[in-house]
Structure 1
């Protein structure tokens, strides 16, 4: 662009704050409308694979992420009894580390501080109430009563994206996969120095992911009814029942799960916006456009890649329309590949029939996917 843009980002999560930092560092005027009252980040921890860490380096926060988390390089595969079946070194993208586990609240603080220091303005407790795109700009009214005109509006507002509904109605709603995540933070076993994945014999999988020197999270995936919710007083016991067939490090971690309130439960859904990801000067990114199952640990990585590539596309194009077209052409194939393979792995692990196209993807596998995803994006 020949001159700085005014950009409104709807959503102050991982992708939104990454974009805010990338754009503000380039001299654009950036506002972030965040519905929450603070960057308190729900959930437990998150894996930052090498491609995500490459983005963190590009926006200047890599060292802060590593200091707040736990860097690791080897994926360990175990049987339900805890016996090691394989140790798989993980690849690197350029000079970024292989992986980093980090608490979600810590990552939110790192990204929020970076966005503010770059000059972005974060408006808490605020969402879009009215929006009108006249082709030359977007007039927006916010829930705090303020209004303004922006050159570009970006929806990084998650899988339940209100902006997606505003653009497309009910056409692209989240699709529940039939499975859900149970996650809880526990003390880190000193022997757990990277992700430990245990596959059960009843379509169950458990992972231990170190996120600081002292903590790790226990994550599991199970088939659950769409309307199921854990009992608030017995969630830890319900989790223990589901993991009863596991021994070794998973069972050792489960001993520490004594507080039902510490158990985080989330259904696994996906979203595919099959139309263009932008309408005029309003664009969707991250989970709002292409939410995936977590089987490649690439959901947040795809969001931060979206953010950096959008900033780069705005650098290179003569106008907003050209930038958005170039951005989607670059991002859609990679994001859809991640979504398709993630869903295929879910189906394979749970004994669900796969299509011939999914069978071809499954030949890549999780280790192959890691090597594919450290290629330039």
Structure 2
């Protein structure tokens, strides 16, 4: 657009900070309302596949991400004993590595610094308390008492998005899949030069993901009751019990899991907003609009793609409504592909019956999906 826009981003996570950086670098006025008191990202580590790294290059932080993380190119598939079944080279987009593992707190620092350096303002400890939109803008009051009028408000506020509830009520509450993810950071084994995925046993899979030269995380997916929570005193033992049938590098990683507080347990849920992702000038993006299961390691990648395409759409279109329509038409098919295939892989790995449509998606598989997703977004 010919004029600078005022954009409020609700949520200072990976997608929100990426959007703030991209927009501020283009000369727009951007503020981020972040409920936390600082950018203390939860969790352990995250995989940045090539399409996510391509976005990081576009906003100027690729080198910083690679410096903080561990670049890798080959996915190794093992049996429960640790024997190698296959080594699968991973594709890459032009100008970006195949993959990078990175600690979540490190990525939060990189993106927060980039957003601030670009001129975005991050308002910590704040959330939207009042919102009123018309055809020309959105009036917003924040929890710190400040108020302002914005050209666009974007909800990058996660799977439990309060902004989504404001727009659609309870129609799109997170749907629990019946499975949960366990993760814990351990020392990186010298032989773990990329993701090592062991399949079999009673677990859907166990993964080792390098995130620095010295660290990796052990992740595993299990069927869990919706109300299950690990015992705060025994979480490390409960994880070891679930992985008892695994040997090799998974068993070696478990020897380092001695602190129950270090174990991160999260239920795997999904959200699909079937109605438009924008109502007037209020927009939902990332997990707020299309949260997926983690089976393609593409959740954060979809969020940063959403962010960059939205920023570029706002730069190029003649009006805000045109930009938002263009953005959603580009993003919805790709995000829905990731969500549908992720769900199908979860069902396949756990023996849950699949639909005919899911069977067709499974012919693409995880390796095929990687090749699909290195095509331009």
TM-score w.r.t. length of structure 2: 1.00
Secondary structure class of the residue paired with 2:221: strand
Secondary structure class of the residue paired with 1:364: helix
Q: Contact 1:91–1:98 (CA<8 Å) still a contact in 2?
A: yes
1:1-377 aligned at under 5 Å gives the runs 1-377=1-377
TM-align CA RMSD: 0.4
Secondary structure class of the residue paired with 2:7: strand
Runs of 4+ deviating beyond 6 Å: none
CA distance in 2, matches of 1:152, 1:131: 12
Q: Contact 2:201–2:246 (CA<8 Å) still a contact in 1?
A: no
TM-score w.r.t. length of structure 1: 1.00
CA distance in 2, matches of 1:166, 1:95: 40
Secondary structure class of the residue paired with 2:141: strand
CA distance in 1, matches of 2:305, 2:372: 15
Shift of 1:203: 4.2
Secondary structure class of the residue paired with 1:204: strand
CA distance in 1, matches of 2:341, 2:316: 31
Q: Contact 1:206–1:220 (CA<8 Å) still a contact in 2?
A: yes
Secondary structure class of the residue paired with 1:363: helix
Give structure 2 stretches of 5+ with no counterpart.
none
CA distance in 2, matches of 1:123, 1:190: 41
Secondary structure class of the residue paired with 2:159: coil
Secondary structure class of the residue paired with 2:369: helix
Q: Contact 1:270–1:293 (CA<8 Å) still a contact in 2?
A: yes
Give structure 1 stretches of 5+ with no counterpart.
none
CA distance in 2, matches of 1:136, 1:86: 55
Shift of 1:202: 2.2
1:87-135 Cα distance to aligned partner (Å, 9 max, x none): 0000001120000000000000000000000000000000000000011
Q: Contact 1:5–1:29 (CA<8 Å) still a contact in 2?
A: yes
Secondary structure class of the residue paired with 2:96: coil
Q: Contact 1:178–1:223 (CA<8 Å) still a contact in 2?
A: yes
Q: Contact 1:129–1:143 (CA<8 Å) still a contact in 2?
A: yes
Structure 1, 203-212 or 4-13: larger mean CA deviation = 203-212
Secondary structure class of the residue paired with 2:19: helix
1:159-197 Cα distance to aligned partner (Å, 9 max, x none): 000000000000011000000000000000011000000
Shift of 1:204: 2.7
CA distance in 2, matches of 1:95, 1:76: 24
1:358-377 Cα distance to aligned partner (Å, 9 max, x none): 00000001100001100011
CA distance in 1, matches of 2:24, 2:111: 13
Shift of 1:321: 0.3
CA distance in 1, matches of 2:284, 2:95: 30
154 and 161 in structure 1: CA distance in 2 versus 1, 3 angstrom threshold: same
How many correspondences in the alignment?
377
CA distance in 1, matches of 2:155, 2:362: 31
CA distance in 2, matches of 1:174, 1:185: 27
Q: Contact 2:203–2:220 (CA<8 Å) still a contact in 1?
A: no
Q: Contact 1:203–1:351 (CA<8 Å) still a contact in 2?
A: no
Secondary structure class of the residue paired with 2:93: coil
CA distance in 1, matches of 2:76, 2:38: 36
Q: Contact 1:181–1:221 (CA<8 Å) still a contact in 2?
A: yes
CA distance in 2, matches of 1:89, 1:317: 38
